[in-house]
Chain A
Amino acid sequence: MSEMGESSVTVAEAVKSSRSGRIRVRRAGTAQDPVLGTLMFAPAVLYLLAIIGVPFVLAFIYAFSDIRIGSNTIHFVGLANFRSVIQSPSFKVALQNSFIFTIFSQIVVIIGSTILAIALENAFRGRGIIRFLILLPWVAPISLGAIGWKWILDSLYSVINWVLVAVHLYKPYSAPMWLGEPHLAMASVILVHSWRLLPFSTVILLAGLTAIPKEIPEAAEVDGAGFWRVLFEITIPMMLPIISVAVLFGIIFTFTDIAVVYILTAGGPFDSTQVLPSLAFFTGILSGDIAAGAAISLFLVPLLVIIAYLMLRVAARAEVS
């Protein structure tokens, strides 16, 4: 950033000595004019306010009110909504599931993306195509991907079960019900979400990996360190700041995700994959109890604020180093 600033000044000075004053003023203004800077920044700020800020404030207001889907007026009710949703068995399960969903999917994503990043770092024939294929789940709409997985895991037409029965590992009607058994259903939503997040995390780690000076692992190899020692004692420790960034982004994406659970299981079987965002949607939008839905959706805000703070700090450190 500072290099770019210096280079613009240099260009501006060069322009100053050779061209008209009008051009000179415009170039200098780009770097220093606070009005122009504010104008350039304003669309992003407005976007954040409109898309995130306003709904966020509304959610706070709703969570402390008696608003329902048909309400014409709202009244302040204090913590009544929070007290009510805490009593709900579905809420307790959803809170627990949110942590299970997030923690396990992040473990899968980080292990998977680290392996992929290391595998994709060195040039080989077809690397471009493989990178493209790995990126596909991230660029494709999640709803399409999740619907595809729903059919792959379907109780009747699952291609996985068809193979399992065809190779006589299971009898018809006894093949695993991927979305019907609580643990299998949770494992399924975790894996599908990991499949979705893997490319994002891989790209981040790949960028971090390529930034490690080659001399360090090469020197270790000359000193006799094997692949695993270089990996665990040099590569991964040096990637930790960037891994932290990937993890923190992943945690926020997962804690707030509704698409995978909603499409694959709708929270079932019997709430065993219900997470807070899906429960908030069922309660607030589909059932019309907006106040309770808002209260459910705000439960994770303190935790997400801490995670966001840590994320920004780690990102800043990674930038400095």
Chain B
Amino acid sequence: MDEEKKFSTNEKSGEKVTNQENNSVSRRDFIKIAGAGTIAAGFGGPYFLFPERAQAQQKTLKIIQWSHFVPEYDKWFDGVFTKQWGEKNNTNVTVDHINLTELPARAAAEVSAKKGHDLFMFLSPPAAFEPQTLDMAHVYQEVERKHGKKIDLAQKSTYNPKTRKYFAFSDSYVPDPGNWYKDWWAEVGYANGPDTWDDLRTGAKKIRDKNGHPCGLGLSQELDTSMAVRALLWSFGGAEQDANGNVTINSKQTVDALKFMKALYQESETPEVFTWDPSSNNRAMLAGKTSFVMNAISVTRQAEREHQPISSKIMVCRALKGPVRRMAAEHVMDCYVIWNFADNKDGAQKFLVDYIDAFHDVFTNSQFYNFPCFPSTVPDLKKEIANDPRADPANKYAVLGDVLDWATNVGYPGYATAAIDEAFRTWVLPTMFAKVARGDETPENAASAAEQEYKRIFARWK
């Protein structure tokens, strides 16, 4: 449509020049005509002279996403996939990478300016941005037509049941397993590492008492801690909200989880867990300083990539089983949004559909970091991760084969709403657990204080 307008504008300009040329033209008129022609050419670009080129006008697709924890993925995404996609679709694709912690502020700036990228990738469900995003139902429909149903984790993370709108499209999630130091756990009788929260408490204490190495379950105001304490809470039967979005944090199950955390901290941890940022537990594990952390496989992948001798010592385990269930949050949830004000909405939607078509490449180039939200795109997932040539031993990641049995969304058993997101980003749960762990607050009082804060936040997003 825009191209048609450009054509008509140029034709009119051209016609005008011709008519003027038929009359006698003064010097002043000539300058006027030349000026008008220049302006017209400026608006119409080269299509003024070569109209056929307008039909093949190259579009632009601007993407912004995090700097991936596995750098090889970014190399493939920027240098191979987007290039090939751009050539195939006559589109100039630009990809900007920023640090994961800067994503929300950048999104806020783009929304405020009503200008920015066509595709914006969040690492957690961006429910608060819903009024500014395109409904992704059509993208999901098209992808599901080709690849079957999405997993429940994606549904709960990108759908608002009240407005019946998909405010984002999730292509993948990242499991959040435990990482444990093989030799130390074997020395205290856990050759296969901890399997339950009780194993963690007992084994971590033995290791701490034996050789001084602390447990590394974070208690700080950061992403990894937020996921770890949610895993603990759910495993004990507690939750922030119920399936209908009612606050349920103040429960006996929460108090039990808090008591467990206090015991674990006082028996096996040091105050360093209060200082951590998202990369601190990676460093602590790779430095051989800590016996257990909860993190994505970025820890082990870094050790493999840098050929660190410790690589073969760090093992991966499923989410720990608690008194009620075995459950952990996704470590990060890839959520692409298309802003209502994006310049190339059609291109962005097509890109996502094509991206899922190529998801097996995503899976392999992310070195099994990104797990598919459409399982049929990686049909032999279990087989592939059970025999990884980079891993030592090769079946190190086999335990992630049943990840969908124990991975869930932030906000479980409800949806990942804007209120849940605010509670997540203002660190209500890490604060509750940390205060109890240090003995600054009783479990009962901490749960009660958290309930008040959740209710206050939920009231603000009604």
Query: What's the interface size class on B, roughly?
Result: 35 or more
Contact of A181 among B107, B111, B271, B426 (CB under 8 A): B271
Query: How many A residues are at the interface, by size bracket?
Result: 35 or more
B105 at the interface (CB under 8 A from A): yes
Residues from chain A with Cβ under 8 Å of B434 in the complex: 268-270
Taken together as a complex, chains A and B put the C-alpha atoms of A87 and B108 apart, in Å, by 26
A70-B129, A283-B422 known; A288-B108 Cβ under 8 A: yes
> B222 to chain A: which residues have CB within 8 Å?
266
Inter-chain contacts of A90 with B (CB < 8 A): 426, 431, 453
What is the bound-complex CA distance between A263 and B385, given in angstroms? 37
The answer to whether A269 and B111 touch across the interface, beta carbons within 8 angstroms, is: no
Q: Are B132 and A282 in contact (CB under 8 A)?
A: no
**Which residues from chain B contact A154 at a C-beta distance below 8 Å?**
275
Interface check A173, CB cutoff 8 A: yes
- Residue B425 at the A interface, CB < 8 A? yes
Whether B272 lies near A69 (C-beta < 8 A) is no
Q: Is B430 located at the chain interface by the 8 A CB criterion?
A: yes
| Docked-complex contact A155 and B111, CB < 8 angstroms | no
Q: Give which listed residue, B128, B431, B452, contacts A69 with CB less than 8 A.
A: B128
Q: Is the interface of B mostly helix, strand, loop or mixed?
A: helix
Q: Which of B132, B275, B421, B431 sits near A155, CB closer than 8 Å? A: B275
Scan B263-294; emit 1 where CB is below 8 A from any A CB, else 0: 00000001111111100100110010100000
Q: Is the interface of A mostly helix, strand, loop or mixed?
A: loop
The reply to whether A181 and B452 contact each other, CB–CB distance below 8 Å, is no
Q: How far is the CB of B342 from chain A (nearest CB, A)?
A: 15
Chain B residue nearest to A85 in the complex (CB) = B456
Most chain B CB within a 10 A radius of its CB, from A72, A173, A178, A287: A287
A-B contact pairs, 17 of them (CB 8 A): A68-B461, A69-B107, A70-B111, A87-B456, A88-B456, A155-B275, A155-B284, A174-B270, A177-B270, A180-B270, A180-B274, A269-B219, A269-B274, A271-B221, A282-B427, A283-B422, A288-B421
B residues bordering A, Cβ < 8 Å? Answer: 104-105, 107-108, 111, 128-133, 212-214, 219-222, 270-277, 280, 283-284, 287, 289, 418, 421-422, 425-427, 430-431, 434-435, 438, 440, 449, 452-453, 456, 459-461
A-B pairs with lowest CB-CB distance, top 8? A288-B128, A269-B274, A155-B272, A180-B271, A177-B271, A180-B274, A287-B422, A180-B275
Using CB atoms and an 8 Å cutoff, list the residues of chain A in contact with chain B. Answer: 68-72, 84, 87-90, 154-157, 172-174, 177-181, 185, 265-271, 282-283, 285-289, 292
